[in-house]
């Protein structure tokens, strides 16, 4: 092998090693579709997110107190200013056993860069290699030499307990641990237009 080919061979081996690890080389669904801040963890999961062709926002310049109505059956979140509907977002709510609870709530916290304290990944310290891409801190222990990294929940809008609306992976069905996942563009605009105390009705 000629010497001038060695750098290219090394680069190829390095690229291959960086793409390995985790569960069969796949990244967690929790880490999929979170926009530019997570571009280095793009999902290789074959169950790609369903394209969003129903969400919209028409609330700029509109006045009136904000409120949100979440329809579990339709998997939609409706945004109102006063009595006027100004936005609709496709969502993914809690899966069976982790149902999003119906009720009347209010926004109690806004956190643009929120991460889960319960669900996420275990990654190897120093290398960043994912050793568990579906970690649950309520039952899993962090392996030696690893650390826990909470699932990103950007644009988090808490409305009851540990449950809130946030940017997340939308496979086209109920898939969360109780939170209301939204497309990133819609989570951002909802986040920007709610205040602490904004009513949230889940039905």
The pTM of this model reads 0.75
Residue pair 121/31 in contact by the 8 Å Cβ criterion: yes
Distance spanning both ends of the chain, measured CA to CA: 67
Look at residue 27 in the predicted model and tell me its pLDDT.
40
Q: What is the mean pLDDT of residues 55-59?
A: 97
Residues recognised as catalytic: 166, 179
Tokens representing 4? Answer: 């001038």
* 33-47, 82-96, 113-127: range with lowest mean pLDDT: 33-47
- Cβ count near 190 (within 10 Å): 26
pLDDT confidence band for 49 (50 / 70 / 90): low
pLDDT confidence band for 178 (50 / 70 / 90): very high
The phi-psi region of residue 185 (left if phi > 0; otherwise alpha if psi is between -120 and 50; otherwise beta) is: alpha
Mind listing the domains of the chain with CATH numbers? 22-202 (2.40.440.10)
Look at residue 48 in the predicted model and tell me its pLDDT.
57
pLDDT higher than 70, residue 168: yes
Mean pLDDT value across the chain:
81
Q: What is the mean pLDDT of residues 90-109?
A: 96
Q: What is the mean pLDDT of residues 151-180?
A: 94
pLDDT higher than 80, residue 6: no
Element (H, E) at 6: helix 6-18
Residues in Cβ contact with 182 at an 8 Å cutoff, skipping those fewer than 6 apart = 77, 89, 90, 91, 155, 165, 166, 167, 168, 170, 190
């Amino acid at each position: 092998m000629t010497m001038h080919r060695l750098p290219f061979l090394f680069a190829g081996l390095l690229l291959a090693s960086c793409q390995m690890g985790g569960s069969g080389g796949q990244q967690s669904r929790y880490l999929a579709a979170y926009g530019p801040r997570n571009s280095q963890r793009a999902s290789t999961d074959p169950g790609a997110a369903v394209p969003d062709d129903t969400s919209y926002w028409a609330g700029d310049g509109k006045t009136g107190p904000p409120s949100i109505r979440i329809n579990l059956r339709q998997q939609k979140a409706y945004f109102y200013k006063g009595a006027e509907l100004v936005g609709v977002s496709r969502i993914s709510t809690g899966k069976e056993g982790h149902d999003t609870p119906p009720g009347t709530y209010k926004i109690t916290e806004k956190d643009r860069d929120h991460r889960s304290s319960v669900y996420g990944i275990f990654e190897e310290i120093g290398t960043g290699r994912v050793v568990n891409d579906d970690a649950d801190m309520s039952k899993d222990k962090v392996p030696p030499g690893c650390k826990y990294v909470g699932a990103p929940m950007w644009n988090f809008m808490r409305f009851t307990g540990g449950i809130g609306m946030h940017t997340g992976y939308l496979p086209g069905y109920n898939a969360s641990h109780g939170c209301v996942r939204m497309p990133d563009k819609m989570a951002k605009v909802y986040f920007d237009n709610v205040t602490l105390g904004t009513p949230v009705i889940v039905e």
